[in-house]
Structure 1
């Protein structure tokens, strides 16, 4: 059953996408809305792949990307993904090939083998300061050596129609023969979507749809609640760390790194509310248990931010490919 219509904005989908670390497909849905077509997707998370298959017509391959033959991945115009960066913080500034960063290396290798027109990679903002900035420089150099001009962009999803403070780095890479120079990410929208607007008419959730686990000392170390007329804190992937619904009483600071709940009913966002804050379509289904649903939602790129990413990408490809015959991949 296809549960959402991704053809509402563009019916003529010209450019194809292969998606690594695709998860439930937040980035892919946004790109589809901007005019792209995801034809292949991969993730190791079984539930995330099942969720992706609910809405996507792509070939979804569940499993370790390191065990997939690169040449079995179809040729596409774009490659996307959000590679983990845990190893970067532990490795020396130039040890970008550290074993802990193998997922990053798979992404780079696939781009090198397939030579798409462009790639888009998403990561946490901390990647800009790891190794005093030398890690991001090494990443840019790595992709540049494979034939790409790379532009890192630090953005807050709240500036692009997402009711949530969520700082992320978006790496745009363009094949050098496209001659994309002086790239600039779209300017922030002149408004912000509040929780009141985003959650309007949302029904009270069932208890089984809300994480009711105990609140840890880590959770209680800072304020976890924002009001109706604000944007949410970042939606995390860990269910126990999901922040509070705005109907909850204000938290009270009692000391350094110590807060308590005010009087009244306190609860976390339900997984459905978290999905809406991540700008997934209302009513979208997610497979798996409650912990898995929260994880899929929290790991995703917000759909509306992804749509902004896609529109800019589409605009550049239309301009560059209409000006020059680049139908042949580099090396063909």
Structure 2
């Protein structure tokens, strides 16, 4: 079992239900803040297996559309990063994408369980999808269920994550008090800070797929003294290790590799950059490992949000 940081002292467990849980980055961060995950759900078997390796929660591996809400235990907090493929700036942005309506199942669970607080996470693109009408509709639906909703665009790099990762955090409270987001930390964690104690990867831990024209359309390398580019869910789009030579710009959207050994970040390095514990073993093949890691909420970002939720609404 992964050892968590010491939780905030409290009289009883503050139970948490997690939707679209993936490997559990959001849940792990909230557990470090003092919450207890009792039930989690995802559709990807490998993600459910990874989650079960570190948590004691009941992990239900199934399509959320096929789960009866009455079978989900009541909890004081509901969290989840509902699927964002249709919202992403990196891919097609379709208002009618079927994946864009999965948030409605999140709303239904919140309506049924009536938690004190819910926390949802999504990509930056959700703010401008449909000329901003999508995010307004999502907030309105939660508000109709009796919640005071606050949404903010944050960068995970401001909260102990060695990575530029812009994400929208949506927090709803039932007591009418608006959530106050934590202030950014005074300093950032660099790639050198994050990766200095990791061993060199084995060949089967690094994606060695050919570099596509899309990959070569921009710089993919950050320096040791900087934070990483965003860790993606696609293995072949993973940024370069900082030991790689600098990329050279040839023209608009055209780059080439410099001289020397070039390689992507290994899945273990990507996991550490996402602030998962270094000893957490992800389930599945190499592609599924990168997928789980890239889809996750960084643990340290989740911890910062979870700590603020605990302090504002639950700490005795």
Give the deviation of 1:169 after TM superposition: 0.2
Distance of aligned partners of 1:272 and 1:109 in 2 relative to their CA distance in 1, 3 Å threshold: same
Q: Tell me, what secondary structure is at the counterpart of 2:102? A: helix
Which residue is equivalent to 1:316? 312
Provide the rounded CA distance (Å) in 1 between the counterparts of 2:64 and 2:27: 18
Provide the rounded CA distance (Å) in 2 between the counterparts of 1:32 and 1:133: 33
Query: Greater shift after overlay, 264-273 or 8-17?
Result: 8-17
Query: 1:236-284 CA deviation, whole Å, 9 max, x = no partner?
Result: 0000000000000000011111100000000000000000000001111
User: What 5-or-longer segments of structure 2 have no aligned partner?
Assistant: 88-92
Query: 1:2-41 CA deviation, whole Å, 9 max, x = no partner?
Result: 2x11252346553111000000000000000000000000
Provide the rounded CA distance (Å) in 1 between the counterparts of 2:86 and 2:239: 27
* 1:6 partnered with 2:10: no
Query: Greater shift after overlay, 82-91 or 109-118?
Result: 82-91
Give the deviation of 1:99 after TM superposition: 4.8
Given candidates 195, 220, 224, the residue that maps to 2:191 is: 195
Distance of aligned partners of 1:87 and 1:224 in 2 relative to their CA distance in 1, 3 Å threshold: closer
1:95-134 to structure 2, matched below 5 A, reads: 99-134=98-133
Which residue is equivalent to 2:235? 239
Provide the rounded CA distance (Å) in 2 between the counterparts of 1:128 and 1:108: 18
CA RMSD of superposed structures (Å): 1.5
* 1:90 partnered with 2:87: no
1:170-319 to structure 2, matched below 5 A, reads: 170-175=169-174, 178-181=175-178, 183-318=179-314
Provide the rounded CA distance (Å) in 2 between the counterparts of 1:58 and 1:7: 18
Give the deviation of 1:146 after TM superposition: 0.9
Which residue is equivalent to 1:142? 141
Give the deviation of 1:90 after TM superposition: 2.4
Which residue is equivalent to 1:22? 21
Give the deviation of 1:105 after TM superposition: 1.1
Provide the rounded CA distance (Å) in 2 between the counterparts of 1:87 and 1:215: 24
Give the deviation of 1:87 after TM superposition: 4.9
Q: Tell me, what secondary structure is at the counterpart of 1:8? A: coil
User: What 5-or-longer segments of structure 1 have no aligned partner?
Assistant: 93-97, 323-332
Provide the rounded CA distance (Å) in 2 between the counterparts of 1:49 and 1:100: 20
Q: Tell me, what secondary structure is at the counterpart of 1:243? A: coil
Q: Tell me, what secondary structure is at the counterpart of 1:142? A: helix
* TM-score where L is the length of structure 2: 0.95
* TM-score where L is the length of structure 1: 0.90
Q: Tell me, what secondary structure is at the counterpart of 1:283? A: coil
Give the deviation of 1:317 after TM superposition: 1.3
Structure with higher Rg: it is 1
